[in-house]
Structure 1
Amino acid sequence: MAWMMLIFAGLLEVGWAFTMKLSNGFTNPVYSIITIAGVIASFVLLSLSMKILPLGTAYTIWTGIGAIGAFMVGIFVLGESVTPLRLLAAALIISGLVLMKLSS
């Protein structure tokens, strides 16, 4: 159950990062409220998962899901550039996540 909460917390991180972009510097009230609610929900689930999972593992997985998810949203939804160096960076993050999961 802790892993499911952690994964969902990471997905919420992707969501709030995206809505933060759409909030245009918190000038759009709808997206600003969605961002704040997403941040709170993500942090609550992260903290609940940390009752069972080690801090280093939980935090690394949470930020990794957020980073890779935001990277993918940027590419597929916002039309951000795809370069070999950015893909390599994403691959290194994913490999770090896999190693962290295997070590816990």
Structure 2
Amino acid sequence: MPYLLLALAIVSEVTATLSLRASEGLSKAGPSVVVVVGYLVSFFLMAKALTSLNVGPVYAIWSALGTVGAFVGGVMLFGEPARPMTIVGAGIVVAGVVVMSLGGGISHQ
């Protein structure tokens, strides 16, 4: 269950971040509401996941997958460029999280 909460927190954070872009500097009401609600939901869900998972790996997963999700969403929704070095950078971010997670200790003992 904590991993499902974390996954939903990531989806919520990515949605909020992409809505931040769509809000045009928080000048559009609809996307601006999605930003606020999305981040609140994301932090709430991550806080719930942290009741049984350790903060270091969870935050690494949340931030890395949020970063990659925002990158992919920006490319797909806003036509932002996906340059080779940017793709390599996204891969490095994911690799870092994998290495950190392989170190163990993601769940409370």
Q: Normalised by the size of structure 1, how large is the TM-score?
A: 0.94
Matches of 1:100 and 1:21 in 2, distance apart? Answer: 30
Matches of 1:11 and 1:65 in 2, distance apart? Answer: 9
Unaligned runs of 5+ in 2: 105-109
Tell me what 1:28 maps to. Answer: 28
Over the matched positions of the two proteins, sequence identity in percent amounts to 29
Tell me what 2:66 maps to. Answer: 66
The one-letter amino acid of 1:40's match is: L
Matches of 1:59 and 1:80 in 2, distance apart? Answer: 26
Aligned ranges 1:60-99 → 2 under 5 Å: 60-99=60-99
Matches of 1:103 and 1:5 in 2, distance apart? Answer: 22
Asked whether the equivalents of residues 11 and 65 of structure 1 are also in contact (C-alpha less than 8 Å), the reply is no
Over the aligned positions, Cα root-mean-square deviation in angstroms equals 1.0
Unaligned runs of 5+ in 1: none
> Which structure 1 residue ranges, 4+ long, deviate > 3 Å from structure 2?
none
Whether 1:37 and 2:34 are equivalent positions in the alignment is no
The 10-residue stretch of structure 1 (82-91 or 94-103) with the greater mean CA deviation from structure 2? 94-103
